[in-house]
Structure 1
């Protein structure tokens, strides 16, 4: 059982749930939620629902494999800074962790292929971007946050690709998770040593931009502003208090809490997008992933 838990720790289960929320939000943006709501009696037989399941499996593989490779490439550094992690602690060998990560990425690409060639190409791009970030991107001051944000942007677009034609209309939505995750990545740079006030302020401003963008989209896409208000309020409640505390004291423990809040709040961000495009009902469905992620975050590290 301890071996299984060690392998699960490599995949960051709580974070995988946030990746599933990306897919579900993209699915809602593309109109999939409205299709499902229109004919619930044949849900199990619906090709649209099957696409959602395949893309959900795809993101589990892509995210799990991506973060597992992160620990593979960081094994030597973690031996000094985080010796309790699975690889430096000896609970999982570096070779076996790399093999698991590769297989998970492969599963993610194959699952997306069952939806469309375009979905498979997006999944392949996400996999390449994830490995690039793990190996090189995270060490780059400017490109690192962008690289990580591109992974999330691709994940949202992967959800939209349930209806490939809709990517032509909504490709620009990838900028929302890109900016948000870039902000989280910036903030996380002080998680070990602290003292990163400049990055914390930058993250704060980027968070505000995200909230204003979602509010504007809710008005432009079907006048659903009042559908989105509760989700935006919850989003702000989750991300701002821990970030403000971290800005005041700049100590690793508080910065870590701000990062954790940001990662988990990805689900609320996605619920807000779902509500903006498909109504509060599907926003609630996406939001139901939040307690699952919070529970898993108590059992497994999110960073």
Structure 2
């Protein structure tokens, strides 16, 4: 077992897509970026990584047939080690949530952790409950950034992130055997609706947003829709497994610009700048991985 095997187990590049959840929730609740609150994105990362390890533990029998190259079926990581990693990362995530946001954050982190384990062990085996539970996980992650007692101003951001995540989850069920035109079209329509909600909710708020803030909001929202909608439309036109997989990946990568748009929506340009850096780092990671695969082929 190597470090790289564990990084593959927890989907290390995808962990970057949860760092902005608590920034979006914290921005909505009026929390400044800095101080001990920097531990909250790390809490999200640990809980997400733990969920990924638990996912592969729960899917080890199916993966042995459909994805034998993954760490557990390939024998690189034992099922017991994956379960231990899931438990350890979950405990670490809860500890970091308490360190970063105190009891208000932990009060949301506990049901978040419970939802993650419920999804991986039970709900994901059913289409609608699975999508709803995964969406709830992402929404709770956003609310963890706001903290119990400041949930109301962050509800809109939580619903938007949760709605996008539910759509990605629905599409992901077609990664092996394909999806349907109706499913992919519905997810694409959902993307348009969520993008409209982000922009419309700001422009109709009656606030005194600056011209730069509005331009930044429009740019981030366009980046979100532009990153995932084309792949979703392709899956709707040709719902084969490869297109469903591409649409799923695009939806995951679109979460960072969506988080950035939500932070800008609440005037937190500093958090948006951090997320822009995270997005760039994620692109560099994917490029290096692609180049390495080419060199090995």
- Tell me the TM-score normalized by structure 1: 0.88
Indicate if the aligned counterparts of 1:25 and 1:286 stay in contact, CA closer than 8 A.
no
Residue number in structure 2 paired with 1:46: none
Instruction: Compute the displacement of 1:269 (Å).
Output: 0.3
Residue number in structure 1 paired with 2:94: 109
Residue number in structure 1 paired with 2:17: 18
After superposition, what is the alpha-carbon deviation per residue over 1:114-152, rounded to whole angstroms, capped at 9, x for unaligned? 222121121111111111111111111211111000110
Residue number in structure 1 paired with 2:146: 160
Q: 2:226 aligns with which of 219, 237, 241?
A: 237
SS of the residue aligned with 2:141? helix
The more displaced of 254-263 and 50-59 is 50-59
Q: How far apart are the structure 2 equivalents of 1:123 and 1:177?
A: 16
Residue number in structure 2 paired with 1:39: none
Instruction: Compute the displacement of 1:280 (Å).
Output: 4.3
Q: How far apart are the structure 2 equivalents of 1:136 and 1:240?
A: 30
Indicate if the aligned counterparts of 1:12 and 1:64 stay in contact, CA closer than 8 A.
yes
Residue number in structure 2 paired with 1:226: 215
- Aligned pairs for 1:76-87 within 5 A: 76-87=61-72
Q: How far apart are the structure 2 equivalents of 1:152 and 1:55?
A: 14
Are residue 270 (structure 1) and residue 263 (structure 2) matched?
no
After superposition, what is the alpha-carbon deviation per residue over 1:167-214, rounded to whole angstroms, capped at 9, x for unaligned? 233334311111100111111111101142221111011111110110
Are residue 51 (structure 1) and residue 36 (structure 2) matched?
yes
Indicate if the aligned counterparts of 1:227 and 1:279 stay in contact, CA closer than 8 A.
no
Indicate if the aligned counterparts of 1:65 and 1:102 stay in contact, CA closer than 8 A.
yes
Residue number in structure 1 paired with 2:184: 200
SS of the residue aligned with 2:18? helix
Cα RMSD, aligned residues only: 1.8
Residue number in structure 2 paired with 1:41: none
Are residue 137 (structure 1) and residue 126 (structure 2) matched?
no
Indicate if the aligned counterparts of 1:112 and 1:120 stay in contact, CA closer than 8 A.
yes
Instruction: Compute the displacement of 1:258 (Å).
Output: 0.9
- Runs (4+) off by over 6 Å: none
Q: How far apart are the structure 2 equivalents of 1:234 and 1:294?
A: 14
After superposition, what is the alpha-carbon deviation per residue over 1:47-96, rounded to whole angstroms, capped at 9, x for unaligned? xx233222122112111101110000000000000000000000000001
Indicate if the aligned counterparts of 1:13 and 1:296 stay in contact, CA closer than 8 A.
no
Q: How far apart are the structure 2 equivalents of 1:124 and 1:105?
A: 10
- Greater length-normalized contact order (CA 8 Å, ≥ 6 residues apart): 1
After superposition, what is the alpha-carbon deviation per residue over 1:20-45, rounded to whole angstroms, capped at 9, x for unaligned? 11122222222234xx5xxxxxxxxx
CA pair 222-68 structure 1, distance change in 2 beyond 3 A: farther
Q: Mind listing any 5+ residue stretches in structure 2 that lack a counterpart?
A: 291-297
Residue number in structure 1 paired with 2:196: 212
The more displaced of 218-227 and 81-90 is 218-227
- Tell me the TM-score normalized by structure 2: 0.90
Q: How far apart are the structure 2 equivalents of 1:131 and 1:200?
A: 27
Q: 2:170 aligns with which of 180, 183, 186?
A: 186
SS of the residue aligned with 2:127? coil
Indicate if the aligned counterparts of 1:145 and 1:186 stay in contact, CA closer than 8 A.
yes
Residue number in structure 1 paired with 2:238: 249
Q: Mind listing any 5+ residue stretches in structure 1 that lack a counterpart?
A: 37-48
What is the count of residue pairs matched by the alignment? 283
